Amino acid sequence: MIREFGLIDVMYLIAAARWTLALTATAFVGASLIGIVIAIARILPFAPLRWLAAAYIHIVQGTPLLVWLFVIFFGLPLAGISVNPWIAAATAFSVYGSAFLGEIWRGALVSIAKTQWEAGASLGLSLGEQLRYVIVPQSIRVAIPPTVGFLVQLIKNTSLAAVIGFVELTREGQLTAAGTYKPFAVYITVAAIYFAMCFPLSQWSRSIERKLDVAR
Amino acid sequence: MSLVEIHGINKSYGSVQVLKDVSLDIAKGEVVAVIGRSGSGKSTMLRCINGLEPVQAGVIRVDGTQVNDPATNLRKLRQEVGIVFQSFNLFPHLSVCDNITLAPRVVKKQAPQAAREVAREVLARVGLEDKLDAYPSQLSGGQQQRVAIARSLAMRPKLMLFDEVTSALDPELTGEVLKVLESVAKEGMTMILVTHEMGFARRFGSRVVFMHEGRIHEQGPAAAVLAEPKTPELQTFLSAVLH
């Protein structure tokens, strides 16, 4: 039975966008936790740790996210570990995001002059204290704009989770399009909702960038 | 006993040897000016004394503690050895007060209020008591360097190292920094200064050490060495910097 694409469908789409945001938020938290470890591992003077972190980044960035979604969602059950789409998506996006955030934050950390580390060390601060009190606070200013930029990418990329049946905005769009035979109207609406989520973030990122420029 | 003992240190960057068998003893209360061309190894030697640069051979002791011993707690040593850099290296995200109190609070576990009192006192010594809550970017180069000296003083070091602290300053700003150095020297601080300020070296240096191609080429009482250099290298150097 074909139904009309009406206001109620738009409401359903907006409701599904909550899951897009939930997945983005979860993945961002997961990616941040792993990413900060990766970023710091890559700048510390312990070679094995650096190599391990670099290998992790190369592997994750050198493979498609979609494949990871498939590996986790279809592969793990074969190994006897059953995962629901939510867990699979949250895991895959956290891993994917951690490699990118790890690189962004590493860049922010190394952008702080070596003399700042030296000044801290000369005052008797330990390596951890140099990071905590001197390097990280300064690099946050550098890191915020690209981090927000990545967040926008993450929101859009969560649409990939639709392929493993996780019902977020894109998957809801597919279902609505199938039920109404109005793919154009439906997907334009979907696009508009994505835009409504991403645009304010990009603007915010830009305004932060401007503020930091002025502060310099 | 000497406060600083340097015995036969060698240091290379790859195939370039920057320090060749350098030995130097410095007594408590001495003000030693280290002079020489850029690339002669003077800054490197200074940075070896607080362990910022490792050495490949030789021994460095500060107050009896061997600096280049892996078992040495550099963290502890560095609380007793202050260093001030050419480029100030203040923490730009922290106020003057926080720049000065960071290490006393974090490393020496001073209470914030007590640390702030110390900050006020050392700022008064460099003549900047009114800048307690300013940020480094709001200060002139000379003022920033004076804050950097105050930050070092707040740790109550036994020895202070100065690495060309006036070289990044406009000529009209070097005077205010030299004045601060002078007062620190008069208070009896043991100081090693890598410097191009020959006038300062002459007036306040107890000794001048001339470095040339990674070695200590000539040294002696400041006034005598500067007035009557014995080696042709020092004569050439002095005539180049004084004219």
Interface residues from chain B to A (CB-CB < 8 Å): 50, 52, 74-76, 78-79, 81-83, 85, 87, 89-93, 102-103, 106-107, 151-152, 155
Q: What is the mean pLDDT of residues A161-190?
A: 93
Encoding tokens for residue B34? Answer: 């280290």
Is the CB of residue B10 less than 8 Å from the CB of residue B46? no
Residue pLDDT, tens place only, A81-101: 889 999 999 999 999 999 999
Strands B190-194 and B159-163: parallel
Q: What CATH number is associated with residue A138?
A: 1.10.3720.10
Separation CA B147–CA B133 (nearest Å)? 12
CA of B82 to nearest chain A CA: how many angstroms apart? 7
**Residue partners of B148: CB distance under 8 A and separation at least 6:** B84, B85, B88, B89, B90, B165
Separation CA A148–CA A198 (nearest Å)? 10
Q: Which residues pair with residue B82 across a beta bridge?
A: B160
B52/A122 Cβ within 8 A: yes
Residue pLDDT, tens place only, B31-44: 999 999 998 999 99
Contacting residues of A for B151, CB less than 8 Å apart: 123
- b/e map B114-148, b = 16+ CB within 10 Å: ebbebbeebbebbebeebbeebbeebebbbbbbbb
- b/e map B194-203, b = 16+ CB within 10 Å: bbebbebbee
Q: What is the mean pLDDT of residues B14-34?
A: 95
Size of interface A-B (CB pairs under 8 A): 55
User: How many domains does chain B fold into?
Assistant: 1
CA of B11 to nearest chain A CA: how many angstroms apart? 19
Whether residue A164 has pLDDT greater than 70: yes
Q: Can you give the pLDDT at residue A4?
A: 86
pLDDT grade for A180, boundaries at 50, 70 and 90: very high
Q: Can you give the pLDDT at residue B116?
A: 96
Q: Can you give the pLDDT at residue A206?
A: 85
The radius of gyration of chain B's CA atoms, rounded to the nearest angstrom, is 18
Q: Can you give the pLDDT at residue A210?
A: 82
Separation CA B102–CA B115 (nearest Å)? 9
CA of B87 to nearest chain A CA: how many angstroms apart? 9
Q: What CATH number is associated with residue B195?
A: 3.40.50.300
Q: What is the mean pLDDT of residues A113-129?
A: 96
CA B25 to chain centre: 16
Q: Can you give the pLDDT at residue A209?
A: 78
Name the residue with tokens 């004084």.
Answer: B242
Is the CB of residue B218 less than 8 Å from the CB of residue B234? yes
| Structural domain boundaries enclosing A153 | 7-215
The least confident of A42-56, A174-188, A202-216 is A202-216
* Best of A123, A125, A135 to mutate (most B CBs within 10 Å, chain B): A123
Q: Can you give the pLDDT at residue A141?
A: 85
Q: What is the mean pLDDT of residues B62-69?
A: 92
Strands B215-221 and B207-212: antiparallel
Q: Can you give the pLDDT at residue B241?
A: 86
Q: What is the mean pLDDT of chain B?
A: 94
Separation CA A205–CA A185 (nearest Å)? 30
pLDDT grade for A1, boundaries at 50, 70 and 90: low
Contacting residues of B for A134, CB less than 8 Å apart: 91, 102
Whether residue A214 has pLDDT greater than 60: no
In a domain, A151, yes or no: yes
| Structural domain boundaries enclosing B116 | 4-242
Q: Can you give the pLDDT at residue A215?
A: 55
CA B33 to chain centre: 9
Compute the CA torsion angle A82, A83, A84, A85 (nearest 10 deg). Answer: -140
Residue A147 DSSP code: H
Q: What is the mean pLDDT of residues B101-129?
A: 96
Q: What is the mean pLDDT of residues B2-21?
A: 94
Label residue A178 exposed, middle or buried (CB < 10 Å: 0-12, 13-18, 19+).
exposed
pLDDT grade for A207, boundaries at 50, 70 and 90: confident
Question: Chain B residue with minimal CA distance to A114?
Answer: B89
Contacting residues of A for B155, CB less than 8 Å apart: 123-124
Q: What is the mean pLDDT of residues A180-195?
A: 95
In a domain, A1, yes or no: no
For helices A7-43 and A169-180, give the axis angle rounded to 10 degrees. 150
For helices B112-125 and B141-153, give the axis angle rounded to 10 degrees. 130
User: How many domains does chain A fold into?
Assistant: 1
Which position has the higher pLDDT, A216 or A118? A118
Contacting residues of A for B75, CB less than 8 Å apart: 124-126
